[in-house]
Amino acid sequence: MSAIKKVTVLGTGVLGSQIAFQAAFHGFDVTAYDISEEILEKAKARFAQLSEIYQADSVVAATREQAEAALARLLLSSDLGEAVADADLVIEAVPELLALKRETYTRLAALAPAKTIFATNSSTLLPSDLKQFTGRPDRFLALHYANNVWRFNTAEIMGTTDTDPEVYRSVVEFAKASGLVPIELKKEKAGYVLNSLLVPLLNAAAGLLVDDIADVETIDKTWRIATGAPVGPFQIYDTVGLTTAYNIASTSPDPRSQKFAALLKEKYIDKGKLGVSTGEGFYTY
């Protein structure tokens, strides 16, 4: 069993709410912190929705009692000092803005007790970008969840050269104890393991499409039949969401990415087709 018992999650947005609920569902005492009471009201609604999802999704098939017990283990707070006062682990899931994260760690460093481990859920920043603001680089690392954590339950764990190996191990144990499959990275790497594999695949698929080499269905079919994968790259785009795909493609200097961004906007986003979440993207659901 993990030495970590009390967990505090900073940020109750898309990922923070899932991280908090997943840990509470697996028996941890969780405090969910966000910046205002108003936002915490929205968090309550997110947790109620997650409680329904954990019961309805056959992957979890939670009983009502289990879902209610998870909700009962969740405490909400808009007072950072109070939220972290006795935390063994703080998982940070605040917006992906370097300055905001640095400011958050600076405040946290002053308020959390010396025992507390800090973990960032950042998708694109390296823990080295943040470690000097934590006041405890040896007790800091990245713990990266996937969206829809109850179903896509990888936990990519990535330390810096300063991370104490014992801290790393205790976070691996925490991941296992909270129903996740720990993915242990030996070194820092932008994109972790998953996006290091996935992003080149998705970019290559976009390139084949905008260069008019093959259509969406043909590209996906090729990948499925020839590799045995259950889905092709454009089915993955639909799951990730076309707005996210657009945001990434439109900021790339690569002219093919720009062309793909324009195609996404014109044919899909402007028509409200954002992928699985809206019932239509490259495919209809």
- The residues that touch ligand NAD, with contacts defined as CB under 6 A, are 10-16, 33-35, 39, 93-96, 100, 104, 121-123, 145, 147
Q: In the structure, how many helices (H) and strands (E) does the chain have? A: 11, 8
Q: What is the DSSP letter of 60?
A: T
- Candidate list 128, 195, 250, 277, residue with the active-site label: 195
Q: Is 65 a catalytic residue?
A: no
Which CB atom, from 143 or from 210, has the smaller least distance to ligand NAD? 143
Identify each DSSP E strand in 17-73 by its residue range. Answer: 29-33
> Whose Cβ is closer to ligand NAD: residue 53's or residue 94's?
94
CB-based contacts of 279: which residues, under 8 Å, 6+ apart?
285
Place of tokens 């992957």: 59
From 2, 17, 144, 257, active-site residue: 144
Judge whether 144 counts as a catalytic residue. yes
C-alpha–C-alpha distance, residues 270 and 267, integer Å? 7
Q: Alpha carbon 105 to chain centroid distance?
A: 19
Residue sitting closest to ligand NAD (CB) = 13
CB 65 → ligand NAD: shortest distance, Å?
28
The owner of tokens 């044919």 is 267
Smaller CB distance to ligand NAD: residue 154 or 258?
A: 154
Nearest approach, Cβ of 135 to ligand NAD (angstroms)? 17
Least CB distance from residue 214 to ligand NAD, whole Å?
Answer: 28
Give the β-pairing of 154-159 and 140-145: antiparallel
**Is 156 marked active-site?**
yes
Select from 218, 249, 238, 243 the least CA-distant residue to 281.
Answer: 238
Q: Give catalytic status of residue 147 as yes or no.
A: no
Q: How far is the CB of 212 from ligand NAD (least distance, A)?
A: 31
Is 74 or 219 the residue whose CB approaches ligand NAD more closely? 74
Q: Which DSSP state fits 73?
A: T
| Residues labelled catalytic | 123, 144, 156, 195
